[in-house]
Each structure stands twice: as C-alpha cells, then as structure tokens.
Structure 1
C-alpha cells in the first residue's frame, strides 16, 4: 500500500474506525517515514489505464455534495501523458455539466477503474484541470480516439496524487460482449 494513498484516505474518522475494529496497527506503518510513494504512474498503471473503455469519476460541488459519473469511450480513450498526468477528451453528453462544474470549483477528483474480467480495480486520487477547446484545441483533439463519432467539448487533465490497487475479493467476474 503506498504512502500517498494512506495520507489521503486515512482521515482521522477512518483511523477511528480502524482502531475500533482492530486494524489501526496494521495500517499505521503506511503513514510512517519521510518518503512518499504511490503518486507516480508506473508501467502497470499505464497498461491498465489505457486499456479502459470506461471509469467512474467522483467530484464534489461547491455546496459539498458528491457526484459520481460514469465516463466511457472506446478502449484507450484515457491517455497517459507522463508519470503524473493522464487525460481524456470530454465529449458532449446530456449537457448537465455537473462534473465540469464541480471541477471548476474544486479540482479534487477520485476515479475508479475496473476490469471485471480480470477482477482488477485501480483507485486514483488526483487534481483535475479543464482544458477548453479555446485554450488548447490541438491538445483536446489529440485525445480523440480515431474514428470515434463524438464531439469533444473540452479535455480533463488529471495530475495523480495517489494510486492504489484495490482488493479483488468482492469484484464480480464479468465479461463484455467483445470478451
């Protein structure tokens, strides 16, 4: 378990529950030491991220309400740019703009990427930035999958703050039609 994950996720409330249920000592070691680990996109993360055809994005509004949205596209629509950044073209959808509105006020996001067939799940915490077509049309268009008939409105650029492989124990094994 990386330290970056523990620093973000093990809030005082979470640690109270860990103490109550007897796991505090088991997890305390992930908060020790100076070196922060688990915030850099490694090779296994790149392969997994770029194999996705969808993920769940969590944002929080300026009024404090969480919002979770499924984001989908063809396999590979998530593009890893370097060891701390990945991005995707944000396509026109139902035009409610809840995630974009939330990101514009609070850049903290959390993503869950799941491969049900392999029973793998990657949790990512990051800081998101909206790149409009006006600001960076070449960048936004470079993220568009070839031959995908969607209209990009912006790009979402995410800087990773923590990545954590989740326990596969309760991930149901499923296959897509293609699989």
Structure 2
C-alpha cells in the first residue's frame, strides 16, 4: 500500500489543505509504489541494532517502546514480513498487552551516522516459543545473551523514508573505533618507536 494513502486520513488532509501543503502531498498519494520491501529497505533493516515501536492501548493513548539487540536482530522473513524475538525485560508487558487488543503498530528505524530514517506501518502478531520452533530458529541470535519469552512477527502494510532534518548524527563505540582505527594504529607505532628511543643507551660525551 502507498504509505501516504494510509497515513493521510481525512483530518490530515484537511490540515494539509489549511496549511498549504495539500497540493504537493496529493501527488504522493497517486505515486506508484513497490509492493513489498526492496533490497534497499531489507538491507537497511538488517543492519539495525535498535528501533522504536508504537502501539495503541485500550485507554486510547499511544505507547512508544525502544527495542534493541545486536546488529541484525530484526530479521527480514520475506519482502512483507519482519520478525524479532521478544526477550525478557522489565515485565510490564505494555506493548504485548496493547497488541492483543489492537495489532496496528508503527515502526521507526534510524541510522544516526547517515541521518537516515525508515518508517513502517504493520500488523503485529505474537507467536509463542513452543508454537513455532522453525520460526525461532530463523530469529535466533547466536552469540547474544538473552532470555526469550515470545516472538513477534510484523506484516508490513506500508513504508516510507523520512527526510534527514533535525536528526543529530550519533555514533556507537564500534563505529568510533572503526573510524579512528588507522590513527590508533599510527599512535601505537609512534609509542613503540619512542619506547625504543628511550631504551637506547646514551652515548658518553
């Protein structure tokens, strides 16, 4: 589905009309779209180590949760389906509870160094561990320490890329170390040479 067609409700269109952006955004609703995720989206998703998920509670309020894990913990099951293992956290179960009454979710994934943001609408589904061992095998995080409680599958309805405005670049320790790897190596070489010079006997005058 075209993301704009889903996101632009009547109230949203009325506000766009009132504030002067309706004409340009109307073209987005009529724009052709790819049915399903492309290699561009799947590659981006597979590289993430965190994302944000919004659900709606019975009280009518949205709830936004940060989900994190090792790079690649969000698995692309196919071009229209993503999955994660829901591991033990603070045991509030707000997101899980919300999904049982309203499975519409919004996901936002950000690559802070490049200021790139992907937003998705999806239907979430809870899958118990005992009910689908094959799915768990696909979602398993080898080498990562966690306590699995259940699995979540997201059937993607629509997606779109956001603009870069106001995204502050942020870098992980691994990214910083990688960026300065050559400088660090050079510093180690200089320190080794300096040590040799200090250890060299001083010639008598």
Measured against the shorter chain, the TM-score band is over 0.9
Q: 1:38 and 1:15, CA in 2 relative to 1: closer, same or farther beyond 3 A? A: farther
Distance across 2 between alignment mates of 1:9 and 1:72: 26
Distance across 2 between alignment mates of 1:137 and 1:123: 29
Q: 1:39 and 1:112, CA in 2 relative to 1: closer, same or farther beyond 3 A? A: farther
**CA RMSD, 1 decimal:** 1.5
Kindly indicate whether the alpha-carbon contact (under 8 Å) linking 1:117 and 1:174 is maintained by their aligned counterparts in 2: yes
Distance across 1 between alignment mates of 2:81 and 2:151: 13
Shift of 1:105: 1.1
Shift of 1:30: 2.3
Point out which structure has higher relative CO (alpha carbons under 8 A, 6+ apart): 1
Give the equivalent residue in structure 2 for 1:80. 76
Give the equivalent residue in structure 2 for 1:177. 173
Kindly indicate whether the alpha-carbon contact (under 8 Å) linking 1:7 and 1:31 is maintained by their aligned counterparts in 2: yes
Q: How does 1:7-46 map to 2 (within 5 A)?
A: 7-32=5-30, 37-46=33-42
Kindly indicate whether the alpha-carbon contact (under 8 Å) linking 1:39 and 1:163 is maintained by their aligned counterparts in 2: no
Kindly indicate whether the alpha-carbon contact (under 8 Å) linking 1:140 and 1:152 is maintained by their aligned counterparts in 2: no
1:112 matched to 2:108? The reply is yes
Aligned equivalent of 1:60, options 44, 56, 60: 56
Question: What is the DSSP-based 3-state SS (H/G/I as helix, E as strand, rest coil) of the residue aligned with 2:171?
Answer: coil
Distance across 2 between alignment mates of 1:15 and 1:142: 41
Unpaired segments of 5 or more residues in structure 1?
Answer: none
Kindly indicate whether the alpha-carbon contact (under 8 Å) linking 1:60 and 1:102 is maintained by their aligned counterparts in 2: yes
Q: Deviations over 1:27-48 (max 9, x none)?
A: 1122237x6x255111010110
Which deviates more, 132-141 or 64-73?
132-141
Structure 1 runs (4+) greater than 6 angstroms displaced: none
1:132 matched to 2:128? The reply is yes
User: Number of paired residues?
Assistant: 175
Query: TM-score, normalised on structure 1?
Result: 0.92
Shift of 1:114: 0.3
Query: TM-score, normalised on structure 2?
Result: 0.81
